[in-house]
């Protein structure tokens, strides 16, 4: 199904030279680089509000607003990340290089949506809603760790790769 996957250059598990060039020249790479730490900041602040509510029973409104803001960041980074994946790999989701990260991302989205639905329709008591937010945040931390490990591995692989192959490709493309 689809085009056969080209073998990746030696020392790289994630990008062909063409994909690396698309990644490095895409505005969506920068967008992801800006949104990821902002989403993490929203997560960290929200986690404080959620834990405060669970521990003390106070600050429910602040906790809800913070989870909704975190969810908005999640949707923004997921949409722009899908666009990035399309630019770099030619598909919006489940590119082989990021398959498992995308699978866990679907769980993260599901749990955040479940929280929002539970809150909107008052399907659970506030404490249960916050425990659902904790479950969503746990999945988010696992997913963020996946991406950080992949980013680190890509950087290590990139520094070990001979950049001549990328430069040779750039020369070929410019002809």
Question: Per residue in 15-43, pLDDT tens?
Answer: 899 999 999 999 999 999 999 999 999 99
Answer positive or negative: Cα dihedral of 20, 23, 25, 29.
negative
CA pair distance 108, 104, nearest whole angstrom = 6
Residue 76 C-beta-side C-alpha neighbours within 13 Å: 17
* Residue 115, number of CB atoms within 10 A of its CB: 25
Domain extents in the chain: 17-154
CA pair distance 25, 34, nearest whole angstrom = 15
Cβ(132)–Cβ(63) below 8 Å: no
Residue 15 C-beta-side C-alpha neighbours within 13 Å: 24
H helices, E strands: number in the chain: 6, 0
Q: How confident is the model at residue 153 (pLDDT cuts 50, 70, 90)?
A: confident
Tell me what percent of the residues of the chain surpass a pLDDT of 90. Answer: 75
CA-derived radius of gyration, the chain: 19
> Is the pLDDT assigned to residue 160 strictly greater than 70?
no
Q: What would the two tokens of residue 66 be?
A: 């913070």
CA pair distance 37, 119, nearest whole angstrom = 26
- Tens-place pLDDT, residues 105-139: 999 999 999 999 999 999 999 999 999 999 999 99
> Is the pLDDT assigned to residue 11 strictly greater than 70?
no
CA pair distance 8, 156, nearest whole angstrom = 15
Cβ(140)–Cβ(108) below 8 Å: yes
Considering the entire predicted model, what is its pTM?
0.82
Q: What would the two tokens of residue 92 be?
A: 């919006």
């Amino acid at each position: 199904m689809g085009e056969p996957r080209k073998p990746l250059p030696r020392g790289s598990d994630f990008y062909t030279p063409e994909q690396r060039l698309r990644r490095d020249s895409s505005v969506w790479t920068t967008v992801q680089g800006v949104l990821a730490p902002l989403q993490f900041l929203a997560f960290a602040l929200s986690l404080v509000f959620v834990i405060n509510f669970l521990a003390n029973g106070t600050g429910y409104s602040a906790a809800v607003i913070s989870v909704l803001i975190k969810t908005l960041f999640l949707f923004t980074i997921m949409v722009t990340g899908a666009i990035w994946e399309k630019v770099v790999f030619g598909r919006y989701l489940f590119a082989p290089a990021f398959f498992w990260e995308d699978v866990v991302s679907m769980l993260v989205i599901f749990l955040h949506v479940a929280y929002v639905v539970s809150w909107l329709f008052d399907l659970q008591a506030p404490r249960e809603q916050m425990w659902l937010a904790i479950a969503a945040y746990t999945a988010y931390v696992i997913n963020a760790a996946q991406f950080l490990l992949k980013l680190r591995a890509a950087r290590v692989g990139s520094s070990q790769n001979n950049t001549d192959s990328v430069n040779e490709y750039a020369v070929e493309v410019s002809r």
